[in-house]
A and B are shown apart, each in its own frame.
Chain A
Amino acid sequence: MTTDAEPREHLLPVATALLVLGAFAESLMRLRMAPVTTRSASGALGLCAVATLTAVPLALPGPATVAALILVMSLLSLVAFHSLTISGLIAGMAAGYRAGRHGPPLLVLALALPFLIAALAGPRPGSSESSVLTLLTAVLVPAAAQVGVSRRLRAQVEEGSARRADFEERLLEHTKRGERARIARELHDIVAHHISMVSVQAETARLTTPGLPEAGAKRFQAIGETARAALTEMRRLLGVLKDDQWPDAETAPLRPQPGLGHVTELIDEAREASGSATRLLLSGRPVPLDPGVELAAYRIIQEALTNARRHAPGAAVDVELCYDDGELRVRIRDNGPGLPYGAEGPSSAGHGLAGMRERAAAVGGVLAAGGTSGGGFSVEAALPAKPRETV
């Protein structure tokens, strides 16, 4: 049952009652107008009963049953008493519409056929009003069914597009959340490596420092224990962030988290994959940065190169890394078809850009993407970059 039919559902008994009353009144009028001699008492009773009963099935559930009952009753009325009522016609149209909207429309067509035949067979003697109603039934009931069918189709289309929009939105949300979890995982991963280094160094200091007083050894032991406690919590946290219930043995990373030292590999890969010119342009003095910032820059470049390959295949791509005072600027620009100058990134390419923005934001940076003045597409990020203290 579709939702738009429901609000009207409670009107159905009321409408049915009105039609039943109408049919009853109509048949009484019809009897009064007819010469008394031509109608027997039982015939009069029958006419009233059939006319009245014609509208009753409207209150039943099941569009096919309703349509069948109403039209068969009408047919009975027509054949037995050469009489149809306006209320019966209205009930027939209502049933036809419902069958078209929710049930089998072909049934309506089949049931309307006898009326058409009756109408074409010529007017019955003495009841031109019935002939008109017969013709109207033959025409209007299928027409009502047709209206029902077109309403149904429109509703289906609307429902389909609503569902698609809903699905797209959920997919985007899901991707975003997945991307955020991935960023969080990778950043925690870096932190965990730092903490394990604290632990190793504390143990090394405790056992290998010559002449270390016992108090010092105890301090180092405490540092090691704190680091281990932190790591235990961190492992739990990463367990929570893990996306798959059952770990996929093939997806666990076997390489260290990448940094800017690995960007040349990305460029080489891109060059090989697309066969087009991909350049790395460096300015400023490259210094090692926080691993989190390097990872963010790496992932942004990786994603932007993938996007360029997908949306501007064959285009030349420039990757610029600019080490400025306290800031790392990353720019990935292609000379593909791009977007109108100044246009923001297309939302359908959405999650790639959203993911890059999340990456930049996660380390306190910003990212902008869009068409460039010379055509093509550009992604530009500014990440905070305090040179890493050498360890």
Chain B
Amino acid sequence: MNAEDAAEDAVVRVVVADDQQIVRDGFAALLASQPDLSVVGTAGDGAEAVRVCERTRPDVVLMDIRMPVLDGIEATRRLADGGPRVLILTTFDLDEYVYRALRAGASGFLLKDVTAERLFDAVRVVAAGDALLAPAVTRRLITQFAAHRPAPAADPAEAAALALLTPREAQVLRQVAEGLSNQEIADRLVVTEQTVKTHVSRMLAKLGLRDRTQAVVLAYESGLVVPRAAR
């Protein structure tokens, strides 16, 4: 859906990390078939993925979770600070994997048996960063797990950052957490989509977050948005 946006920003640089060579080569070949996507490196384990990313500075990493040496979740955590956006690859849609990956800083997740078209789309969406991959699923996951957490951990740094938001930005954050797109938020607030984009990017910058997915995680975990029961 955001193919145009990505195309504007020229080519999306991608790294593929998976311990199965067939999967790694397959995904790399698929991505390379797209003119706006370019595979700049591959890795067979988490540690190698971190090294390759530090060297090649990609925009997006496709990251398998179960890998030798260093698992994909830990690799995602190590890449969290200023690294590429991480798209998690799993064989199983095990909620606990995905939730842990999101908390570690992943921007989205894909099943390995995804169709090629959806794979391309997901990479473009994540690269653009202004939309949530599978909003309904992401929200369900986070609300479910946030509800099972003992208590929202009151991180003082987080609270201070949240206090910096203007009322409008906080409002936008809440709606992002509900899984709304920029256009949907614009319709609700009766402003232009461009205005919403500005609010979102300021909000992300103030919170030190890299994309909407991480904003959703923070909104639920900080208790700014309370999961609704029986969703």
Enumerate chain A interface residues (CB-CB to B < 8 A). 189, 192-193, 195-197, 199-201, 203-204, 206-208, 224, 227-228, 231, 235, 238, 246-249, 252-256, 391
Q: Are B20 and A197 in contact (CB under 8 A)?
A: yes
A391 to B67, CA, bound (A): 19
B contact face: mostly helix, strand, loop, or mixed: helix
Q: Are B96 and A196 in contact (CB under 8 A)?
A: no
Looking at the assembled complex, report how far the CB atom of B20 sits from the nearest CB atom of chain A, in whole angstroms. Answer: 6
A249 nearest CB neighbor, chain B only: B96
A254 with B26, Cβ < 8 A, contacts A199-B113, A207-B33 known = no
Q: Are B91 and A196 in contact (CB under 8 A)?
A: yes
Looking at the assembled complex, report how far the CB atom of A196 sits from the nearest CB atom of chain B, in whole angstroms. Answer: 4
Chain A contacts of B100 at CB under 8 A?
249, 252
Q: Are B115 and A200 in contact (CB under 8 A)?
A: no
B72 nearest CB neighbor, chain A only: A254
Q: Are B116 and A207 in contact (CB under 8 A)?
A: yes
Map CB proximity to A onto B34-67 as digits: 1 under 8 Å, 0 otherwise.
0000000000000000000000000000000111
Q: Are A201 and B26 in contact (CB under 8 A)?
A: yes
A253 nearest CB neighbor, chain B only: B66
Looking at the assembled complex, report how far the CB atom of A258 sits from the nearest CB atom of chain B, in whole angstroms. Answer: 9
Chain A contacts of B112 at CB under 8 A?
196, 199-200
Report if B27 contacts A (CB, 8 A): yes
Q: Are B97 and A235 in contact (CB under 8 A)?
A: no
Interface size class of B (residues with CB under 8 A): 35 or more
Q: Are A256 and B97 in contact (CB under 8 A)?
A: no
Q: Are B71 and A195 in contact (CB under 8 A)?
A: no
A391 nearest CB neighbor, chain B only: B22
A224 with B115, Cβ < 8 A, contacts A235-B92, A254-B71, A256-B67 known = yes
Select A195's contact among B29, B72, B113, B115, beta carbons within 8 Å. B113
Q: Are B96 and A255 in contact (CB under 8 A)?
A: no
Report if B193 contacts A (CB, 8 A): no
Chain B contacts of A227 at CB under 8 A?
113
Pairs A–B under 8 Å by Cβ, sample size 28: A189-B91, A192-B91, A196-B111, A196-B112, A196-B113, A197-B22, A197-B26, A200-B22, A203-B26, A204-B25, A204-B30, A204-B116, A207-B30, A208-B29, A208-B30, A208-B33, A228-B115, A247-B96, A248-B96, A249-B99, A249-B145, A254-B66, A254-B73, A254-B74, A255-B66, A255-B67, A255-B68, A256-B66
Chain A contacts of B121 at CB under 8 A?
none
Chain B contacts of A249 at CB under 8 A?
96, 99-100, 145
Chain A contacts of B94 at CB under 8 A?
247, 252
Chain A contacts of B187 at CB under 8 A?
none
Report if B130 contacts A (CB, 8 A): no
Within 8 A of A (CB), among B73-118: 73-74, 91-97, 99-100, 111-113, 115-116
A201 to B30, CA, bound (A): 10
B119 nearest CB neighbor, chain A only: A203
Chain B contacts of A197 at CB under 8 A?
20, 22-23, 26
Looking at the assembled complex, report how far the CB atom of B166 sits from the nearest CB atom of chain A, in whole angstroms. Answer: 35
Looking at the assembled complex, report how far the CB atom of A212 sits from the nearest CB atom of chain B, in whole angstroms. Answer: 12
A379 to B113, CA, bound (A): 40
A contact face: mostly helix, strand, loop, or mixed: helix
Within 8 A of A (CB), among B156-173: none
A248 nearest CB neighbor, chain B only: B96
Q: Are B29 and A255 in contact (CB under 8 A)?
A: no
A256 with B19, Cβ < 8 A, contacts A200-B26, A201-B26, A249-B99 known = yes
Looking at the assembled complex, report how far the CB atom of B150 sits from the nearest CB atom of chain A, in whole angstroms. Answer: 13
Report if B148 contacts A (CB, 8 A): yes
Q: Are A204 and B26 in contact (CB under 8 A)?
A: yes
Looking at the assembled complex, report how far the CB atom of B95 sits from the nearest CB atom of chain A, in whole angstroms. Answer: 6
A88 to B33, CA, bound (A): 104
Chain A contacts of B19 at CB under 8 A?
256
Select A206's contact among B99, B116, B119, beta carbons within 8 Å. B116
Chain B contacts of A207 at CB under 8 A?
29-30, 33, 116
A93 to B68, CA, bound (A): 77
A207 to B115, CA, bound (A): 11
Chain A contacts of B30 at CB under 8 A?
203-204, 207-208
